[in-house]
């Protein structure tokens, strides 16, 4: 599961940052899906890259104070409307895909809990 990766990525960051960074979210999601951070910012549109990319955008919106343009910039200068579409798409996909819904909600809760309590969740 992603928890081992999340712990190694965020071990010290919890004390140093007020919220998860986009890079941290990207690294955790990429590791969970067996991708690299470069795969997530690439122009490839295959499902194996697009869904994890949209999930990172969804998590960034829900776990950070970053604006949609700032999130889009992190993904190779994508427009804020692309980020809006990704967020809506993940919300829609979660309604019919229990695995995606569980992964997204677990990651969201993990990031939020880790930064709320300022410690890693077991």
Q: How sure is the predictor about 56, in pLDDT bands with cuts at 50, 70 and 90?
A: very high
Q: What is the pLDDT of residues 67-94, one digit of tens each?
A: 999 999 988 899 999 999 999 999 999 9
Coil, strand or helix at 4: helix
**CB-CB contact of 13 with 24 (8 Å):** yes
Provide the mean pLDDT of the chain.
Answer: 85
Rounded to whole angstroms, how far apart are CA atoms 46 and 80?
A: 20
Q: What is the pLDDT of residues 4-23, one digit of tens each?
A: 555 555 554 556 667 788 88
Domain limits of the chain? 18-115
Q: How sure is the predictor about 101, in pLDDT bands with cuts at 50, 70 and 90?
A: very high
**CB-CB contact of 5 with 32 (8 Å):** yes
Domain 18-115 has CATH 1.20.1260.120: no
């Amino acid at each position: 599961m992603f928890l081992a990766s999340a712990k190694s990525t965020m071990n010290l960051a919890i004390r140093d940052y007020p919220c998860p960074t986009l890079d941290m979210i990207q690294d955790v999601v990429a590791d969970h899906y067996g991708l690299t951070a470069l795969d997530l910012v690439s122009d490839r549109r295959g499902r194996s890259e697009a869904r994890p990319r949209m999930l990172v955008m969804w998590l960034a919106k829900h776990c950070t104070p970053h604006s949609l343009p700032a999130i889009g910039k992190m993904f190779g200068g994508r427009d804020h409307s692309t980020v809006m579409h990704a967020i809506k798409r993940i919300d829609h996909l979660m309604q019919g895909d229990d695995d995606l819904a569980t992964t997204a909600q677990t990651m969201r809760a993990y990031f939020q809990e880790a930064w709320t309590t300022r410690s890693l969740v077991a």
